[in-house]
Amino acid sequence: MAVPILKQGDVLIASIQSALSDQDLTQLRDDLAGQVGRQRSRGVVIDVTALDVIDSFATRTLRSIAYTAKLRGANTVVVGIQPDVAFAMVQLGLSLDGVATALDLEEALADLARISKEGSRVR
């Protein structure tokens, strides 16, 4: 199942609506990596609110998406990790080290705007 990727200004928003196969997750990673360059995006938001399970492959793939996007010039924020999912991830030793998280889309967009503003002062 393809994940819809929307463009909001210079941010790409991928909203995962249901559990994805490993192949679907890999396709999402590839699609986002390509679109970051084509759309000249500075931010990526991945909404996982609808997921009630995030396994080790999904965790590694989310990290891979964030690291790949960073190398292409975009920051990534994962939003909507449900409390039970977060608890299970901690119990299983799964982490999104180096990947920003937020409670919702509004917070993610504010974080990306802040990061972008801070980055523009450094130059």
pLDDT for 109 equals 97
pLDDT for 117 equals 82
Q: Which of 34, 56, 107, 96 is nearest to 5 (CA)?
A: 34
Burial of residue 74 (number of CB atoms within 10 Å: 0-12, 13-18, 19+):
buried
Compute CA distances 31 → 12, 44, 88, 116, 119, whole Å. Answer: 11, 12, 28, 23, 25
pLDDT for 123 equals 44
pLDDT for 106 equals 96
> pTM (2 decimals)?
0.92
Q: Which architecture, in CATH terms, is 5-122?
A: 2-Layer Sandwich (3.30)
Q: Per residue of the chain (123 residues), give pLDDT as tens.
A: 789 999 999 999 999 999 999 999 999 999 999 999 999 999 999 999 999 999 999 999 999 999 999 999 999 999 999 999 999 999 999 999 999 999 999 999 999 999 888 865 544
pLDDT for 120 equals 56
Task: Please give the structure tokens belonging to residue 18.
Answer: 């249901």
